[in-house]
Amino acid sequence: MAILTVVLLLVADQSSKIWIKTHLQLYESIEIFPWFKLYFTENPGMAFGIEIFDTYLLTIFRLVVVAFFGVFIFRLIGKNSFKSGYIVCWALILAGAMGNILDCAFYGVLFDSSYGQVSTFMPEGGGYSTYLSGKVVDMLSFPLIRTEWPSWIPVWGGQEFVFFRPIFNIADSSICVSVFLLLIFYRRSLSASFAKEKDREDNVG
């Protein structure tokens, strides 16, 4: 179940990103509904476009995180004491992290620049960057509310207000939704699994 979950999520995530890269220019958009559009953007950062580390260092960090989650999920499955929904949530987090890692690790050499043009897969002149230094493709935009801040509000008064402003991808949403589900529905399982990990470390020590 966990492996199937990871594979399906990766296929959906990478398919959507490759379609966007090969059909839209950077910052081009397609309106699906007034409250939902595909808006092509790229970022070297973490979920929802947050930029914290250098792209190369962030990719290394993601690889370490993926390795941790892979081992963690393997141990959960081996214990046979947790619900399948709990394990699927962790598998979705793993798949989401892997989806964005693939962008950072390979997109820089597999695609040329999307700025002012539609990107080409495996261009003759080479990609826009190097291995481990690619950018994450984002495209899901949900501007549910568009209005202006009241004029009496300091600093932001009269400026445009958009909710929800962040642009993200399937991998990002997989991670965030799974974390939400774990905190709401599987708090006891979380406590139990981490308690068992601590006991295991104590026994090893």
Looking at the annotation, which residues are catalytic? 138, 172
DSSP string, 21-82: HHH--TT-EEEEETTEEEEEEEESSSGGG---S-HHHHHHHHHHHHHHHHHHHHHHHHHT-S
φ/ψ region of 72 (left if φ > 0, alpha if ψ in -120 to 50, else beta) reads alpha
The answer to whether 79 and 104 have CB atoms below 8 angstroms apart is no
Sign, CA torsion 105/106/108/114 = negative
